[in-house]
Amino acid sequence: MVYFVIPISCFDNYKDMIGKTSKEVDEAIWTVKEENKDVIIKMFKYFGICSWKHKHDVLSILVELMV
């Protein structure tokens, strides 16, 4: 199992999430920016090497993003 932890302060709307449960928060907004692109690439890489099925999932996501 892979866990990828993103600090709450990285989310654009983190102030709205502090002190609330996941049931009380509709969404967490994480904008892809130049300074966090390496983290996102590593996340896909590590998830993709966990198993053949994960690799398939990662490739499917990336193909969808390119369309």
State pLDDT tens for residues 44-55: 888 889 899 989
Confidence (pLDDT) at 40: 84
Q: Is the pLDDT of residue 20 over 90?
A: yes
Residue 15 lies in a domain: yes
Per-residue pLDDT band at 62 (split at 50, 70, 90): confident
What pTM value is reported for the model? Answer: 0.61
Q: Which domain holds residue 42?
A: 8-66
Per-residue pLDDT band at 29 (split at 50, 70, 90): very high
Number of compact structural domains in the chain: 1
Write a three-state SS string for the chain. Answer: CCCCCCCHHHCCCHHHHCCCCCCCCCCCCCCCCHHHHHHHHHHHHHHHCCCHHHHHHHHHHHHHHHC
Residue 1 lies in a domain: no
